[in-house]
Amino acid sequence: MSITHSQPVSTLNWSRWTSWISDRFGQFQNWRRLRRQQRIDRQAFQQLLYLDDHLLRDTGYHRADLEDANNLPLDVNAAQAVKLMKSERRLRTRN
């Protein structure tokens, strides 16, 4: 019993290989774009650290929360983390 292919086996393997490489390269490019945007977002967040403590308190933020959020990994949204810290602090002070 013999198996026949419309293309030689080496061509089929080459096609799969190039497809796999292309997929991985696309995934890598997407990861780089995401990482770049995360760095841009973190740099924008870090601008809050330059604000005066009185101004931060007036807006309901604490410098310690901002510093803690700034030290989180890049894949964690620091602005959302601070928002969560702020709401938890508000709940603690009410009780």
In a domain, 14, yes or no: yes
**Residue 82 CB burial class (10 angstroms; 0-12, 13-18, ≥19):** buried
In a domain, 3, yes or no: no
In a domain, 4, yes or no: no
Confidence of residue 91 (pLDDT cuts 50, 70, 90): confident
Which residue range is the domain that position 48 belongs to? 9-94
In a domain, 86, yes or no: yes
* pLDDT tens, position by position, 37-81: 999 999 999 999 999 999 999 988 899 999 999 999 999 999 999
In a domain, 1, yes or no: no
pTM over cut 0.85 = no
Confidence of residue 11 (pLDDT cuts 50, 70, 90): low
Q: How many domains, in total, are found in the chain?
A: 1
